[in-house]
Amino acid sequence: MISKRFLLLNLGLAILCLASGCDRQTKIVTHKNLEYTSYATKQGKQKLLLDLFLPEQKSSQPLPVVIYIHGGGWLSGSKDLCQKNIQKRQGMEKFIQRGYALACINYRLSDRALFPAQIQDAKTAVRWLKKNANKYNLNPDKIGAWGESAGGHLSALLGTSAGVKELEGNPKNPQFSSRVQAVVNLFGPTDFTKVPPAFDQPYTPAVEKYKQRPWYHYTKVTNRLLGAPVSKNLKLANLANPITHIDANDPPFLVAHGALDETVPLSQSELLVKALQAKGVEVTYIQEPKRGHYFGGDKGEYFAPKYIDMMLNFFDTHLKDR
């Protein structure tokens, strides 16, 4: 359910924006390709990079941070979506206009490393941002995570798994927690064991014969992520499920999903919402009856303006001092 507080905040901020001109073009400073960690591979050193976007005019107070984690089935995509979006003024620049630092991260994809590498990278990025908070005028105690699809899964897992040893790995900067203070999960998987598989075998060219089955793409990318079908790797699948780790100390969540989604079942978000509510975690759930596995805009925006505003208002509620 959408809380009354959240709705009132949306209305108030909309009125404020009309009065003050929220769409003005704030100048943005870009710190591109910051190395937050690296790994030795057969191909040599693999650097993991993030881009950090800040308002040009330095704030008198440390900035809350929103971390964007890209989707792509844990197999494709990159942080570069953010810079393209900002350059075209397609919505992400609003985070900086609203007084946030926006950090967009790369992580190891499943063709290079199996789970839990992806969440370990996201946690390492959180710690790096906290370590470098003074350098970039960031508030280390006000960090939110946001992602769609596979990125939504990793954002949700960041929110529920702080301190889970198997997911923390051997962290750099262990003096800093990987805990975040707010999470947005847009149509991300939440329980791999609850989706009927299209095929129950490792992903190889031979399984193309199952391509017309429901959840084929979902099964393909999850099998790639785990290194085996879910049924043959239940322990790892459960470790990867955000639902597994939920407790009452988890941060507030905003969960949104399209009812017409044929890539990640709507039930995945419903399961997450019910599990969060059962533990007393604050959660706002929005179901879009005419949307599928994409929340794009009419003008080619990767995220339609209404969803950018929805997320901003949620983060304002939980990452800014009122």
- Going along the chain from its start, the domains and CATH numbers come out as 31-191+241-319 (3.40.50.1820)
Token pair, residue 302, equals 């990767």
Per-residue pLDDT tens over the stretch 85-107: 999 999 999 999 999 999 999 99
* The pairing of beta strand 253-258 with beta strand 283-288: parallel
Percent of the chain with pLDDT over 90: 88
Q: What is the mean pLDDT of residues 143-151?
A: 98
- Which DSSP state fits 139? E
pLDDT score at 42: 82
pLDDT score at 291: 98
Query: Would you tell me how many other CB atoms lie within 10 Å of the CB of residue 75?
Result: 14
Per-residue pLDDT tens over the stretch 55-81: 999 899 999 999 999 999 999 999 999
**CA distances from residue 301 to 91, 150, 255, 297, 305 in whole angstroms, order as listed:** 8, 19, 20, 5, 8
| SS3 annotation, 47-92 | EEEEEEEEECCCCCCCEEEEEEECCCCCCCCCCHHHHHHHHCCCCC
Q: Which amino acid is at 225?
A: L
Confidence of residue 115 (pLDDT cuts 50, 70, 90): very high
Q: What is the mean pLDDT of residues 13-24?
A: 43
pLDDT score at 19: 36
Per-residue pLDDT tens over the stretch 235-275: 999 999 999 999 999 999 999 999 999 999 999 999 999 99
pLDDT score at 4: 52
Among 153, 176, 152, smallest CA distance to 163 is for 176
pLDDT score at 17: 43
Q: Which residue has the tokens 């604050």?
A: 282
Q: Tell me how many degrees the CA angle 285-319-165 measures, rounded to the nearest 5.
A: 80
- pLDDT of residue 43 exceeding 90: no
Query: Would you tell me how many other CB atoms lie within 10 Å of the CB of residue 37?
Result: 20
pLDDT score at 171: 81
Pick left, alpha or beta for residue 215 (phi over 0 → left; psi -120 to 50 → alpha; otherwise beta).
left
The lowest-confidence range among 12-16, 119-123, 139-143, 260-264 is 12-16
Higher pLDDT, 264 or 17: 264
pLDDT score at 148: 98
Q: What is the mean pLDDT of residues 6-11?
A: 52
pTM: 0.91
Q: What is the mean pLDDT of residues 285-314?
A: 96
**CA distances from residue 102 to 66, 79, 121, 254 in whole angstroms, order as listed:** 5, 11, 17, 18
pLDDT score at 24: 53
Confidence of residue 232 (pLDDT cuts 50, 70, 90): very high
**CA distances from residue 261 to 234, 237, 257, 267, 290 in whole angstroms, order as listed:** 25, 22, 8, 10, 9
Among 277, 198, 185, 189, smallest CA distance to 241 is for 189
pLDDT score at 170: 85
The lowest-confidence range among 168-172, 175-179, 213-217, 244-248 is 168-172
- pLDDT of residue 7 exceeding 60: no
| Peptide linkage before 116 cis (omega within 30 of 0) | yes
CA separation for the pair 247, 138 (Å, rounded): 27
pLDDT score at 102: 99
The lowest-confidence range among 158-172, 183-197, 241-255 is 158-172
CA separation for the pair 88, 84 (Å, rounded): 6
